[in-house]
Chain A
Amino acid sequence: AQSVAQPEDQVNVAEGNPLTVKCTYSVSGNPYLFWYVQYPNRGLQFLLKYITGDNLVKGSYGFEAEFNKSQTSFHLKKPSALVSDSALYFCAVRGSGDYKLSFGAGTTVTVRA
């Protein structure tokens, strides 16, 4: 069975400071990893994905994520957070050849001005 853990329910940072949202996963075979962001009463928006290749993945809105196979982690990062980055962030994983995408419980990010 595949699963995702987002160990922090909430992350609070000051604007301009680095932002990190943690994600660890469990899956059979090679993982396909995704990060999404959700604003209130909206659907999920895709930020970035790791399928294969470089461990550092760059995505939308200045976000990046680092794939670490030995630690089974895929942490989301942004060097300088903006107030507009305040939202709910989801990490998701699927195994290669699997149809199902498993989501973490989500991490609420609050960036204070």
Chain B
Amino acid sequence: DGGITQSPKYLFRKEGQNVTLSCEQNLNHDAMYWYRQDPGQGLRLIYYSQIVNDFQKGDIAEGYSVSREKKESFPLTVTSAQKNPTAFYLCASSPGDRQPQHFGDGTRLSIL
């Protein structure tokens, strides 16, 4: 079955540590997105990529970094500069701007 796989499902970060969240899709979609979900705030866009080797900042990119070396993969690194990283992180992909985004099942990040 085609879809988006996020791993790990749960992740714990120590102070001063960078952590990387994985997102892989086999839908052959060009565009990929990372969102942060906090209770009562909906989804906020962190980074997006419309094509391999290119990506743009979203609304809340500070403290995060991404790469897009392959069409299928769009990993997100939460750096030590992100002072409030505890949240549910969702990765999505889409084939075009008129089409709905498909979502993975998320990674829940917590602070140790």
Contact = CB atoms under 8 A, between A and B. Distances in A.
B43 A90 contact: yes
Contact of A105 (B41, B50, B56, B104): B41
A32 B6 CA distance: 27
Main SS of chain A's interface residues?
A: loop
Interface string B97-112: 1101111111010000
Interface in B21-54: 31, 33, 40-43, 45, 48, 50
Interface stretch (A11-19, A64-72, A77-85, A93-101): A93-101
B103 A43 contact: yes
Interface residues of B, number: 25
Contact of B90 (A9, A32, A43): A43
A51 B98 contact: yes
A100 B58 contact: yes
B40 A100 contact: no
Nearest to B44: A103
B98 A100 contact: no
Interface size class of chain A, counting residues whose CB lies under 8 Å from the partner chain: 20 to 34
A35 to B, nearest CB: 9
A104 B43 CA distance: 8
A103 B98 contact: no
Interface in A22-62: 32, 34, 36, 41-46, 49, 51
A104 B105 contact: no
A36 to B, nearest CB: 8
24 contacts: A41-B105, A41-B108, A42-B106, A43-B4, A43-B90, A43-B103, A43-B105, A44-B43, A44-B103, A46-B101, A49-B100, A90-B42, A90-B43, A94-B97, A96-B97, A97-B97, A99-B56, A99-B97, A101-B45, A101-B101, A104-B42, A105-B41, A106-B40, A106-B42
- Per CB-CB distance, the 10 closest pairs between chain A and chain B, nearest first, are A43-B103, A103-B42, A46-B100, A103-B43, A44-B103, A105-B42, A43-B105, A43-B104, A51-B98, A42-B105
